[in-house]
């Protein structure tokens, strides 16, 4: 989230796409309801915030929304595109913000273009773009030409306007299935949010990311928010509701193939030293008034990380051990794990509190991949569909040569440490009870394993042992590092003084500072562990003096305890809040006050040399045009890989032209179905009572939701002769689910480009392991929802397309 849970109460309009917070994040949803009940909020004269819920299913979120729009899954780029076009055509954007706080005025290179669903530079053989033309018209130093009138035909603003002109209300309706009049009513409300005293938040979850256009779906929302001037403001922003207790913290700490802690990029082969790496990876300044804070300090953060990991072995002479960091050949994300395993390139996988089988996508293919491994380690407190995969659906244990290790790990409540919530609040928890049985802490298992591997290298030698030998394990007991010791390492220190640092501003690139993750520097300064702070709602007057919900002394949020990211953009050019009633930060003549400023604390905004507001980008502004996504500088609607219709915008380029097709590339048989065999659209989701798969072991929750089911619209059920409670088989090209039918009016037909389309809903929670599975050992073999989902992901992020695929539906005998 750019903002945080409590901040949603500050919004006038709440746009929810690809999320169901009332059911999936129920306690967070209280802040939506509070906005709705607050008479000061809302469009027009107020009377309460309005909630717009756009989703394939009518859920409890829809029930509390002011407007519900049924959308065909996978078409939100078109929906947002229509809103963007409505704002641009009616001149409803926040003009001053767009002119000064976005890259609307930047001129793009001659040669950039878009035609027939393709941006310039497409290579159909490689299914990739050459992005040479996706850049600015800039001088040798990279400083771009700008046209502050926004009228130049190659200005980002005019290019964007032309790109989006195709997203007319009629086109939006024919793609999404949303009736034109309903769409226009929502567009009128959204259009009001460009007024400086109004603010809208966009809230989403994996319903928006789990598509082959996932990145562009999120960017579409961000573009709309930039046009309306809602980024950086309390009550605004782009807010991802994340689904696991510490998914945020461990994204920050880079358990992800493409990054190092603090969102530093993993180096690419060919980058020979730190200078090469920084040149390739750090953002580049394209305006004289851009601070380019991240780019300018990239090397300091990287060197401080290398010093944290390699200590005295990281010296100026060896580029601070830059060679010790692995340089991947290509994508190594989730889908690539199993693709590489199927191709025999992977020896073993360690699954630490995560199950491959149930998560999928295409669980059958994942099971085959696991069976091709030499070994599989599962670290978990409870059995999972991966620890048990060798006797799972369709598996014959005698044929599975994989050695499997089930290492009992401790539960969260048996150890201390921090969890970071969706709003970036890092909150500390105590150890409440000791470990049960022989369970060991995950990090102690890892430390012990590492120590044994290192001992083998000491004894036997082997491939490039240096990084293994030199990795710092400077803990009192290297086999049992404490959470407190690691939290201090993450925060970092000045090696000269031996003192922990209070800000990443003190980090250096000469090897005199260390920080395990620069965005957490300041979480544990000399004064102590700030993540433990507890000044909460027991005294709102004292702990939240502005009433904005910052609660600055409750836990600690990254970076620097800032509660709203990009908050310089919450104030105008002179430093006055766009809406004085909802100030983020404000220039008081001497300094910035309010939230922790995302800006130099004493930089006078009226100084002609004052930095532009977005300090993390090379432009100094928000980016309406960006060459970072691999599938285009502007979002474009592409159909899901499995879709019931051709793309009405450009049927010849229907699906995402750069989505990576794993099976095709590896020479495996096609695993995608067509509408002729699989005529219905399906989507998958969570229920309130379960959390992925682990809650299959919780008696109370299994009692509340005891058995797998699928949701079927009543009109389709009637057509197929299916009654509520009947057993049905849902099948895709890849596999099947057999479960009870829940016939419902929550799902219904859509008219898409003149064609009637039905959508089926599939909760993801069941499998062949857990209390329900034990009660139904035969039936539970056919409960894995991800048996159905396609093995393909987003063009840039490779996030699998769990949320839009084709199935058939039959009533079982």
| Binding to another protein, residues 225-244 (CB under 8 A) | 241-244
Minimum Å gap between C-beta 550 and another protein is 9
| Sequence-distant (≥ 6) Cβ neighbours of residue 318 within 8 angstroms | none
**Range 704-763, binding another protein (CB under 8 A):** 704
Closest CA to 212 of 806, 799, 744: 799
**Range 502-541, binding another protein (CB under 8 A):** 516-517, 520, 534, 536-538
Minimum Å gap between C-beta 278 and another protein is 17
How many other β-carbons are positioned within 10 Å of the β-carbon of residue 736? 17
Of 170-178, 584-592, 632-640, 796-804: span binding another protein (CB under 8 A): 796-804
**Range 15-34, binding another protein (CB under 8 A):** 24-28, 30
Selected binder of another protein within 99, 128, 251, 604 (CB under 8 A): 251
H/E stretch holding 513 reads strand 513-514
Does 783 interact with another protein (rule: CB under 8 A)? no
Minimum Å gap between C-beta 206 and another protein is 9
**Contact code string over 676-715 relative to another protein, x by CB under 8 A:** ------------xxxx--xx-xxxxx--x-----------
- 54's tokens: 């756009």
Of 73-81, 116-124, 267-275, 655-663: span binding another protein (CB under 8 A): 267-275
Please tell me the total number of residues recorded for the chain in this structure: 813
Torsions phi, psi for 19 (to 5 deg) = -155, 155
Does 771 interact with another protein (rule: CB under 8 A)? yes
How many other β-carbons are positioned within 10 Å of the β-carbon of residue 335? 22
**Range 85-124, binding another protein (CB under 8 A):** none
Does 260 interact with another protein (rule: CB under 8 A)? yes
Distance CA 356, CA 503 (A): 38
Place of tokens 């609660």: 551
H/E stretch holding 773 reads helix 771-775
Closest CA to 367 of 347, 405, 332, 396: 396
Q: Please say which residue, 388 or 619, places its beta carbon nearer to another protein.
A: 388
Does 379 interact with another protein (rule: CB under 8 A)? yes
**Range 419-448, binding another protein (CB under 8 A):** 419-423, 425-434, 436-443, 445-448
Of 95-103, 159-167, 376-384, 649-657: span binding another protein (CB under 8 A): 376-384
**Range 554-583, binding another protein (CB under 8 A):** 554
Does 805 interact with another protein (rule: CB under 8 A)? no
Torsions phi, psi for 83 (to 5 deg) = -65, -40
Distance CA 572, CA 516 (A): 35
Selected binder of another protein within 467, 600, 679, 706 (CB under 8 A): 467
Judged on CB neighbours under 10 Å (0-12, 13-18, 19+), 331 is middle
**Range 320-359, binding another protein (CB under 8 A):** 323-329, 332-334, 336-337, 340-341, 345-354, 356, 359
Minimum Å gap between C-beta 394 and another protein is 16
* Helix residue ranges, H only, 421-505: 442-460, 466-470, 483-491
Does 219 interact with another protein (rule: CB under 8 A)? no
* Helix residue ranges, H only, 165-292: 169-176, 180-191, 206-209, 214-227, 247-252, 274-281
Judged on CB neighbours under 10 Å (0-12, 13-18, 19+), 358 is buried
Q: Please say which residue, 292 or 521, places its beta carbon nearer to another protein.
A: 521
Minimum Å gap between C-beta 285 and another protein is 28
**Range 446-465, binding another protein (CB under 8 A):** 446-450, 452-453, 455-457, 460, 462-464
Distance CA 312, CA 600 (A): 33
Minimum Å gap between C-beta 43 and another protein is 27
């Amino acid at each position: 989230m750019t903002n945080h849970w409590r901040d949603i109460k500050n919004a006038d309009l709440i746009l929810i796409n690809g999320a169901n917070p009332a059911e999936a994040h129920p306690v967070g949803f209280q802040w939506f309801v509070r906005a709705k009940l607050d008479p000061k909020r809302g469009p027009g004269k107020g009377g309460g915030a309005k909630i717009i819920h756009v989703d394939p299913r009518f859920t409890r979120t829809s029930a509390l929304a002011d407007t519900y729009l049924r959308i065909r899954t996978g078409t939100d780029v078109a929906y947002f595109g229509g809103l963007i076009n409505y704002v641009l055509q009616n001149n409803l954007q926040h003009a001053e913000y767009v002119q000064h706080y976005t890259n609307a005025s930047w001129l793009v290179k001659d040669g950039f273009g878009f035609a027939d669903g393709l941006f310039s530079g497409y290579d159909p053989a490689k299914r990739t773009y050459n992005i040479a033309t996706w850049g600015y018209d800039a001088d040798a130093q990279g400083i771009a030409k700008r046209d502050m009138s926004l009228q130049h035909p190659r200005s980002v603003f005019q290019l964007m306007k032309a790109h989006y002109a195709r997203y007319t209300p009629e086109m939006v309706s024919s793609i999404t299935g949303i009736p034109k009049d309903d769409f226009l009513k929502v567009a009128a409300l959204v259009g009001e949010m460009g007024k400086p005293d109004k603010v809208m938040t966009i809230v989403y979850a994996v319903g928006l990311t789990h598509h082959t256009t996932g990145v562009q779906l999120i960017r579409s929302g961000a573009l709309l928010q930039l046009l309306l001037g809602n980024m950086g403001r309390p009550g605004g922003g782009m807010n991802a509701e994340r689904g696991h207790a510490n998914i945020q913290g461990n994204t920050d700490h880079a358990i992800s193939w493409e990054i190092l802690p603090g969102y530093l990029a993993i180096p690419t082969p060919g980058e020979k030293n730190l200078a090469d790496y920084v040149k390739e990876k750090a953002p580049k300044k394209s305006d004289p008034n851009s601070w380019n804070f991240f780019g300018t300090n990239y090397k300091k953060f990287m060197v401080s990380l290398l010093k944290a990991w390699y200590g005295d072995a990281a010296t100026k002479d060896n580029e601070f051990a830059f060679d010790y960091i692995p340089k991947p050949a290509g994508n190594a994300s989730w889908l690539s794990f199993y693709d590489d395993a199927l191709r025999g390139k992977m020896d073993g996988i360690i699954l630490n509190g995560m199950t491959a089988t149930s998560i999928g996508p295409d669980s059958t293919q994942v099971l085959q991949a696991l069976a091709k491994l030499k070994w599989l380690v599962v670290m978990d407190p409870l059995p999972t569909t991966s620890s048990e995969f060798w006797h799972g659906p369709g598996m014959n244990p005698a044929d599975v040569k994989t050695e499997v290790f089930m290492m009992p790990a401790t539960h969260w409540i048996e150890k201390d440490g921090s969890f970071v919530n969706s709003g970036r609040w890092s909150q500390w928890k105590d150890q409440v009870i000791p470990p049960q049985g022989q369970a060991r802490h995950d990090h102690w298992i890892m430390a012990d394993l590492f120590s044994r591997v290192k001992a083998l290298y000491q004894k036997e030698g082997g491939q490039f042992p240096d990084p293994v030998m030199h990795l710092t394990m400077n803990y009192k007991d290297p086999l049992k590092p404490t959470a407190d010791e690691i939290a201090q390492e993450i925060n970092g220190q000045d090696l000269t003084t031996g003192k922990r640092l209070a800000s990443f501003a003190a980090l250096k690139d000469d090897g005199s500072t260390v920080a395990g993750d620069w965005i957490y520097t300041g979480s544990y300064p000399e004064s102590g562990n700030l993540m433990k702070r507890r000044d909460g709602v027991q005294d709102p007057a004292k702990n939240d003096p502005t009433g904005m919900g910052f609660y600055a002394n409750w836990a600690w949020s990254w970076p620097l305890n800032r509660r709203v990211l990009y908050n310089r953009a919450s104030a105008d050019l002179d430093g006055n809040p766009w809406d004085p009633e909802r100030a983020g930060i404000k220039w008081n003549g001497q300094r910035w006050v309010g939230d922790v400023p995302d800006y130099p604390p004493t930089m006078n905004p009226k100084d002609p040399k004052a930095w532009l507001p977005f300090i993390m980008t090379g432009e100094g502004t928000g980016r309406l045009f960006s060459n970072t996504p691999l599938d285009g500088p502007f979002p474009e609607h592409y159909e899901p890989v499995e879709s019931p219709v051709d793309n009405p915008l450009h049927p010849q380029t229907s699906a995402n032209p750069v989505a990576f097709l794993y099976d095709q590339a590896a020479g495996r048989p096609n695993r995608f179905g067509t509408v002729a065999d699989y005529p219905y659209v399906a989507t998958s989701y969570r229920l309130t009572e379960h959390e992925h798969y682990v809650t299959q072991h919780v008696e109370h929750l299994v009692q509340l939701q005891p058995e797998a089911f699928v949701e079927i619209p009543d009109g389709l059920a009637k057509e197929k002769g299916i009654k509520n409670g009947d057993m049905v088989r849902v099948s895709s090209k890849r596999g099947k689910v057999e479960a009870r039918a829940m016939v419902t009016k929550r799902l219904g037909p859509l008219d898409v480009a003149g064609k009637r389309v039905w959508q089926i809903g599939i909760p993801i929670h069941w499998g062949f392991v857990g209390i329900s599975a034990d009660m139904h050992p035969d039936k539970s073999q056919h409960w894995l929802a991800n048996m159905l989902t396609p093995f393909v992901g987003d063009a840039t992020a490779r996030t699998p397309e769990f949320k839009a695929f084709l199935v058939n539906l039959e009533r079982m005998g």
